[in-house]
Amino acid sequence: MASIARVAEANLPTRYGSFQVAVYTGGGQPEHVALWIGELSTTQPTLVRLHSECLTGDVLISGRCDCGEQLEASLIEIQRVGHGVLLYLRQEGRGIGLANKIRAYALQEQGLDTVDANRALGLPDDLRDYGIAAEMLRDLGVGSVRLLTNNPLKIDNLRAHGIQIIERVPLLIEPNATNIHYLRVKQDRMGHLLNLAASNTR
């Protein structure tokens, strides 16, 4: 039996185009959101983006990360393709929550990178799990997935929850002077596929 429930649904016009939007509850987690366009199929691959909530990047347009730009690029690409799904998952700060993320920011200002800042707080590098995302995709009728991601662990996690991933679609954002170190840490220490020149991030 599924641990989630689709509790609300409507049309959502955005600056990137119109989407269907649905809210899911369950699993003892905050409400998660699905945005999609087109006919979703159990037989044809669907372009999918799993986007973890980032208040600082998505809403406050922080220069520390690439999250807001990834969200925008994903919505644009889904509209360009003409069918696809974006799941907005309430897993702030790679699952550690907003307060801990800001505490980690303060440690980064003292010279730690994102990985070491989490560890200094006694927290894992990445606490996210995509079991809820897999249930949401199944509820939406998605059979196989072309996943918009640079993170191989996201692919492995979704597959472990029974989702068929047939292709990884890169989602590369041009670095800026503020977030280049953050992006290199994601590549060099967390295994993200970003094609950046390696550097000493420790």
> Is residue 139 annotated as part of the catalytic site, yes or no?
no
- CA separation, residue 147 to residues 4, 115, 135, 183, 195 (Å): 22, 24, 16, 20, 18
Catalytic residue among 58, 113, 126, 188: 126
Contacts 24+ apart (CB under 8 A), 63-72: 63/176, 63/178, 63/179, 64/105, 64/178, 64/179, 64/182, 65/179, 65/182, 66/173, 66/175, 66/179, 66/182, 66/183, 69/173, 70/171, 70/173, 72/16
> Is residue 188 annotated as part of the catalytic site, yes or no?
no
Catalytic residue among 49, 94, 103, 128: 128
**Which spans in 61-195 are helix H?**
67-81, 98-108, 114-120, 131-140, 152-160, 180-190
* SS3 call for 71: helix
Please identify every residue annotated as catalytic. 126, 128
